[in-house]
Chains A and B, each alone.
Chain A
Amino acid sequence: MVMTFVFAFIVGGIICVIGQLLMDVGNLTPAHTLSTLVILGAILDGMGLYEPLIDFAGAGATVPITSFGNSLTHGAMAEAEKHGLVGVLTGMFEVTSSGISAAIVFGFIGALIFKPKGNID
């Protein structure tokens, strides 16, 4: 179990390092970087590589934004397997990560209770 934490730390850290390199060396904005990583996650899942990564690293693979691409692709592929071509479209949000719904709900709540403050430290 301890190793799971170590692997989560290392794999999660490495995915973030890829993001940092895209920003610093590739000169991408955060939005471009995150979009790139999401596409990367989708492709990795298409090749059947992302699920093994989750089995290996746990939250190290589910917490980075790449897992968002993975779960969307996963849903689409699972439905496509069952229902054919139509499933590609309908399955997308079937298994999708709770990230979006949580972000929407907490975004709404956050807007009700917080105010933007221009502090620096």
Chain B
Amino acid sequence: MEKEQYQQLEQNVTPKPPYLKNVAKAFFVGGLICAIGQAVSLFYIIFFNFTEATAGNPTVATMVFFAMLLTGLGLYKRIGQFAGAGSAVPVTGFGNAVISAAIEHRSEGLVLGVGGNLFKLAGSVVLFGVVSAFFVALIKYILVTIGVVSW
């Protein structure tokens, strides 16, 4: 059998991802995580001195804390299998990526294992976050300097 012919066969046999179902699950779980985040943020606004503008930081930290518990107990991967991007895209997914790598590489020690592999999965997010922020700010700075837009 020729390669092309086989690739045709493979296309026919391999099931397509259930797009609609996956999207619905991602929407529901992702939305739920954000609604929980909203509740956490309301908690910080009411009981601590945080405003809507500043509550984001403690909220995110708290969500990452939840992610640590769920990751350590082995529950986050199950949520992930069900929800896909619904649990990967919220900051809890970022936390899961960092924390799961940390737990996994504990066996190689705290310095070489945890330290060296902490950002194994999430490093790309930090990289592209920083680099894109740099370029976006740079472009905006240039545009402001030549007077096209204002800050």
Contact = CB atoms under 8 A, between A and B. Distances in A.
Interface of A: 1, 4-5, 8-25, 30-35, 37-39, 41-43, 45-46, 54-55, 57-60, 62-69, 71-73, 75-77, 80-81, 84-85, 88-89, 91-92, 97-104, 106-117, 119, 121
A31 to B, nearest CB: 5
Closest 9 CB pairs of A and B: A12-B34, A16-B30, A13-B31, A19-B85, A114-B72, A59-B37, A76-B137, A72-B133, A46-B136
A102 B129 contact: no
Contacts of B102: 107-108, 110-111
Contacts of B32: 9
Nearest to A61: B34
Contact of B94 (A5, A10, A62, A103): A103
B52 interface: yes
Q: Which of A57, A110, A115 has the most CB of B within 10 A?
A: A110
Contacts of A114: 71-73, 103
Contacts of A43: 132, 136
**Chain B residues touching A, majority SS:** helix
Interface residues of B, number: 84
B34 to A, nearest CB: 3
A14 B27 contact: yes
Nearest to A58: B38
Contact of A92 (B61, B113, B130): B130
A41 B78 CA distance: 27
A98 B72 contact: no
B65 A106 contact: yes
Interface in B110-149: 110, 113-114, 118, 121-122, 124-130, 132-134, 136-141, 144
A13 B28 CA distance: 6
Contacts of B59: 59, 62-63
A9 B121 CA distance: 27
